[in-house]
Amino acid sequence: MLFLQWFKEDSTFSLALTDSDKNLQPRERPDVIFRYETLLGDADFAVVAGVPDPAFGLAWANVFGEGLELHADILAQRGTTRAYHRVTQEQADSTLYTDYPYVSPWEDSGRFFLYSVLGGQYTIDQTNIIFEWLHDTRGLSRSQFKKWSALSQYHRQVLDTQPALNMAAQGNLLWDLDTLTTQGSMRDYLFLRVGKNTGTWRPSVNLLSNAQDSSFVLSPEIRYVQGHLDLKAYLQMARGAADTEFGSVPQHNTVVLQLRYQLF
């Protein structure tokens, strides 16, 4: 990998070149990424481009007054290596698959995918509010996710009612989980975080909502910091209908306790 940067007054030009993929396998053609950053008035502005798989994007951030910051990132890229369960890409009845059922139909396509983040944060009286909307056209549509949900429910039914097919059903359920563990399974998400820092006590609450199916994860948290002691506890609650993203997760309520003590 080669990385170069050039600085000039209020501007920065960056160039990165890599000849291997994320699995460290050699590429037929190296990837080249360009990034130009500058100040436009009081705002930070950046332009990004990449080849040989065309990609281009814009980034903007600005601070208004003493407490409000707004930002926007928009990136368009031709093709995607993201893998999708075959049931989401075709019209087919629920079945048991005998081999890995994920495909990457858009890897070498001419289709452009858009990824964007719009948001900001506001701080007042030791209270910080963060809000963001994420849109990713690589994600599944509501109808595609319903197909996956129906397939997963079928595999669960086979596991519970047909002992002779237990191993096949278990394998398919494990494959089904790959859809849920993909970061951003669907296309639109809203994120909100409200936190207060009083020094010793630091309460906060996070809300992540799927804007397509109205399912969400709510995570209230309390943190206590005193000297070398750092204690944190939070509750994670996933809610939604059975055929929604967060409503279909196996564990709807999770409690986590963390204790850290610095010895030196």
Is 18 within a domain?
Answer: no
Number of domains making up the chain: 1
pTM of the predicted protein model: 0.85
10 Å CB burial of residue 3 (0-12, 13-18, 19+) is: exposed
* Closest alpha carbon to 178 in 251, 253, 240, 102: 102
Question: What is the per-residue pLDDT across 164-174, written as a single tens digit (0 to 9) for each?
Answer: 999 999 999 99
Is 7 within a domain?
Answer: no
pLDDT of 237 above 90: yes
Is 202 within a domain?
Answer: yes
* Closest alpha carbon to 12 in 56, 45, 60: 45
Is 11 within a domain?
Answer: no
Residue 121, pLDDT score: 97
Q: Kindly indicate the confidence band of residue 1, based on its pLDDT and cuts at 50, 70 and 90.
A: confident
Rounded-to-integer distance, Cα 206 and Cα 220, Å:
6
Residue 9, pLDDT score: 83
* Closest alpha carbon to 260 in 221, 223, 206, 234: 223
Residue 68, pLDDT score: 96
pLDDT of 7 above 70: yes
Question: What is the per-residue pLDDT across 146-163, written as a single tens digit (0 to 9) for each?
Answer: 999 999 999 999 999 999
Q: Kindly indicate the confidence band of residue 263, based on its pLDDT and cuts at 50, 70 and 90.
A: confident
* Closest alpha carbon to 156 in 141, 128, 176, 136: 176
Is 103 within a domain?
Answer: yes
Percent share of the chain, pLDDT over 90: 74
Write out the residue range of the structural domain in which residue 239 sits: 53-261
Residue 53, pLDDT score: 78
Residue 25, pLDDT score: 65
Of 103-107, 109-113, 193-197, the range with the highest mean pLDDT is 193-197
Is 37 within a domain?
Answer: no
DSSP 3-state of 32: strand
Question: What is the per-residue pLDDT across 12-51, written as a single tens digit (0 to 9) for each?
Answer: 999 998 876 655 667 667 788 999 999 988 899 999 999 8
Query: 115 or 250: which carries more pLDDT confidence?
Result: 115
Q: Kindly indicate the confidence band of residue 109, based on its pLDDT and cuts at 50, 70 and 90.
A: confident
Q: What is the mean pLDDT of the chain?
A: 91
Mean pLDDT computed over 41-65: 92
Mean pLDDT computed over 81-96: 91
Residue 261, pLDDT score: 94
Is 40 within a domain?
Answer: no
Is 89 within a domain?
Answer: yes
CA angle at 82 for the pair 186 and 46, rounded to the nearest 5°: 80
